Every structure is written in C-alpha cells, then in structure tokens.
Amino acid sequence: MPPPPKPPSAPARPARTAANSAPPRSAKPPGATAATSVVATWPKWKRYTVTGLFATAIISGAIWGASLKMQQEAKAENKKALEATVHERVLILEQRKEYLMQQKAEIQSKIDGLNARMKARESGLSGR
C-alpha cells in the first residue's frame, strides 16, 4: 500500500522589516508605568466611574467606622452607668437635673418674651 500524500506546507512567513513591523503591544510612552498606561487609555466616563466608586467606598467606610465607634462608646457609657455605685448615680442624676433646669429657664425666658411681645401688640392694636 502506498503511503498517504503529505498535506501542503504553509507558506513561510516573511521576515520582519522596519516597513512591515508594528510596535509591540506593550509599548508605553516614555516614563509611563504599567498602571498609568492602562488607565490613560480608558475613556473619560470609565475613569470618572471608577474614581466615583472608590470615593463612595472610602466615604461609606468612614461613616460606617464612625458609627461603630459611637455605638461602642454608648455601650461603654451604659455599662459604666450600670456599674456605678449609688453615690455616683445620685451625682449623675443631680448633674442631669441641673442641665434640665437650665434648659427650662431658657425656654421659660423665651415664653415670657413672646408673651410680652403679644401683649404689646394687642395693646397697640386696641389703642387705635
């Protein structure tokens, strides 16, 4: 039996010359790093989107961290208040009472001023 025929061989590639060679794909502008060359080729909208996403992640992380810290501080304060002695509790309540009395005095002075203005306005209207 005769041997099977050989498939035709592919034509040889021509040698690269300066006229027909393209620059390699990894060519970068002088002084550019790998990251800057990739990002610089992105369209503007994509760069803005990525920047916005990173900014959102950083801001939300900061807010989340701050809220966790506030919660921990509140828990520690509550625990401290529960573990306080009777004398310390009385002192805390007295301080709170002073604060509330101060607020009451401020509000009462505002109410008194409002009443005085209302009486002055009524007397000015009735005297006409």
Q: Which pLDDT tens digit goes with each residue over 28-69?
A: 655 656 556 677 788 999 999 999 999 999 999 999 999 999
The SS3 call for residue 65 is helix
CA distances from residue 112 to 76, 81, 109 in whole angstroms, order as listed: 41, 37, 5
Question: Are residue 75 and residue 104 in the same domain, yes or no?
Answer: no
Domain of 99 in residue numbering reads as 85-128
Separation CA 68–CA 74 (nearest Å): 10
Domains: count for the chain: 2
Residue 67, domain member (yes or no): yes
CB 32 within 8 A of CB 40: yes
User: Is residue 96 situated within a structural domain?
Assistant: yes
Amino acid at 20: N
pLDDT at 42: 85
Closest to 89 in 3D by CA, of 78, 101, 99: 78
**Total residues found in the chain within this entry:** 128
Quick check: 112 pLDDT over 70? yes
86 has a pLDDT exceeding 70: yes
Same structural domain, 47 and 72: yes
Q: Is the pTM of this model over 0.95?
A: no
Note whether 89 and 128 are same-domain residues.
Answer: yes
